[in-house]
Chains A and B, each alone.
Chain A
Amino acid sequence: MDKDNEDLTKVISITLRAAVVVSMFFIVSGVVLMMIKGGGDGYTLAQISSYNTTSPTTLRSNLVPLSNMPSGIVNLDGIYFISLGLWVLIFTPVIVLISAVIDFVVSKNYLYVLLSAIVLTNLTVAIFYIGPYLHLAS
């Protein structure tokens, strides 16, 4: 049992570190691209760096469609590089959870398979249902 736990923590620690490095790579290159090109996704640097919450031209997360991500990355658009970096971060804990679920299945610990499945459901519901629903409602 303890042996399993050791392997699991090792995998988790490597995954977490790798994900942080990848995400920081995309965020930093996104910032560089944004500065060089003087903006991104059709927004000027002034709009990107604005804190005005009431102005419709302030660039905030709900204005960037995730479906445009692949083309944005191909076009070397800084905003989509930053978006990808941020989403890699958001997904990091999900990867950790999935590796934990696999470990619980392998060690036939069904109570914890169930508990981690509930956590995964909460996360999935938040990411794929509640968020997009709010987006449509607003």
Chain B
Amino acid sequence: MTEVMTLLKFIEIVAGGIIAGIIGSVTGLGGGSVLVPILTLFYGVPIIFATGASLISTIATSAGSAGTYTKKKIANVKIGVGLEVATTLGAIVGSLTVTVVYKYSLEWVLYLLFGIVILTSIVPTVNRGKYEGTKVVKPDFTSRIFQLQGKYYDQNQKKSVEYIGIRWWLGEIIMFFAGMLSGLLGIGSGALKVLGMDWAMNLPMKVTTTTSNFMIGITAATSSSIYWYNGFIQFYLAAATAIGVLIGAIIGSKILLKISNKDVRWVFFAILSYLGVEMALEGLRKGTFISLSGLDRFYIAIAISGILIVSLYVIFRIGEKNGQRQ
């Protein structure tokens, strides 16, 4: 009888992983950012095991999808490796910080931080793909020293795009924090990586997203070995989520190809913002700053995320449509 129950529970987690993988891949935020809220809020998994499982699935999806990306020769391995100097250091600092967090039972900090990270990631992710070309900038001294130039073939524009990166040092600083968040929360922190390369280093969006995907695996591998020896990885959970999230990510990338109407993605953004608010509220409740019943938390999260996503939609999507008309 226990065999059947364990198997059913396993399938249930795989299903949760598939959902996380789909949402993560359609929104471009990655499976981990969705998996941890789903596991902690709906499956009652302690955040310590949820983040451990998430790190493992992050490596699986990064490796699975980096294959397709590097094949199209868009990812810049050189820039990626250079920035990994900072992300791996950050990952070590982050995963060591986590051991202290659990030692002093400060789990609420992780919930709150997780909520904030999801909510702040939505804005740059919504904005993604808005500007296809990059601004033409003067190369600085780091462009030459760190050989930040490259080119790729853009299938939509049907031409080869050449680019030059700048401000390598600023990219490194942002990457350190991206790595630290990855170690703390068990996510790929793709949004912050994209910010570092797109905003700070002026790299084209296509190069940024694909290179970030390739980097995420190396960052997560650094953290997960520390997680392993600390006992933060629960096999049963990690096995189920790795399988689920990988399947979900594959389905998600297929869905993404079929979505011609951009508005569909907003449904997923709405789910994401709901999960973000829920995580933040759960953090405040665990830290005994507020007292809320599960149902109250649900209503408040629905209300806040509803307002948030509608205002974001109005700001970005309507503005975009007006821009197209002019």
Interface of B is mostly: helix
Q: Which of B45, B77, B228 contacts A5 (CB 8 A)?
A: B77
Q: Which of B88, B225, B226 contacts A119 (CB 8 A)?
A: B88
B232 within 8 A of partner (CB)? yes
Q: Cα distance A24–B64 when bound, in Å?
A: 11
Q: Are B243 and A28 in contact (CB under 8 A)?
A: yes
Q: Are B78 and A13 in contact (CB under 8 A)?
A: no
Nearest Cβ in chain A — how far from B232, in angstroms? 7
Produce 1/0 per residue, A104-138, CB < 8 A to B. Answer: 00000101100110110011011100111011001
Question: If A12-B66, A24-B243, A130-B226 touch, does A93 touch B218 (CB 8 Å cutoff)?
Answer: yes
Q: Cα distance A61–B232 when bound, in Å?
A: 7
Q: Which of A44, A46, A93, A116 has the most CB of B within 10 A?
A: A93
Produce 1/0 per residue, A63-99, CB < 8 A to B. Answer: 1100000000000000100110110011111101100
Q: Are B85 and A89 in contact (CB under 8 A)?
A: no
Question: If A82-B239, A96-B218, A126-B225 touch, does A46 touch B2 (CB 8 Å cutoff)?
Answer: yes
Q: Are B234 and A89 in contact (CB under 8 A)?
A: no
Nearest Cβ in chain A — how far from B165, in angstroms? 14
Q: Cα distance A130–B89 when bound, in Å?
A: 12
Q: Are B96 and A130 in contact (CB under 8 A)?
A: yes
- Those of B67-122 within 8 Å (CB) of chain A: 67-71, 73, 75, 77-78, 81-82, 84-85, 88-89, 91-92, 95-96, 99
Q: Are B222 and A123 in contact (CB under 8 A)?
A: yes
Question: What are the residues of chain A within 8 A of B147 when measuring CB–CB?
Answer: 109, 111-112
Q: Are A118 and B242 in contact (CB under 8 A)?
A: no
- Those of B207-250 within 8 Å (CB) of chain A: 214, 217-218, 220-240, 242-243, 246
B10 within 8 A of partner (CB)? yes
Question: If A61-B234, A119-B81 touch, does A13 touch B71 (CB 8 Å cutoff)?
Answer: yes
Q: Cα distance A17–B164 when bound, in Å?
A: 30
B32 within 8 A of partner (CB)? no
Nearest Cβ in chain A — how far from B300, in angstroms? 26
Q: Are B236 and A59 in contact (CB under 8 A)?
A: yes
Q: Which of B89, B151, B233, B239 contacts A31 (CB 8 A)?
A: B239
Nearest Cβ in chain B — how far from A2, in angstroms? 7
Q: Are B66 and A115 in contact (CB under 8 A)?
A: no
Q: List residues of chain A with CB under 8 Å of any chain B CB.
A: 2, 5-6, 8-10, 12-14, 16-17, 19-20, 23-24, 27-28, 30-31, 35, 38, 44-46, 48-49, 51, 53, 58-64, 79, 82-83, 85-86, 89-94, 96-97, 100, 109, 111-112, 115-116, 118-119, 122-123, 125-127, 130-132, 134-135, 138
Interface pairs A-B: 4 shortest CB-CB: A62-B231, A131-B229, A122-B88, A61-B233
Contacts A28-B243, A86-B56, A93-B63 known; 5 new A-B pairs at CB < 8 A:
A10-B71, A48-B235, A93-B62, A116-B84, A122-B88
A-B contact pairs, 14 of them (CB 8 A): A5-B77, A5-B78, A9-B73, A13-B69, A14-B67, A31-B10, A59-B236, A60-B234, A91-B221, A92-B63, A100-B81, A119-B85, A125-B92, A127-B225
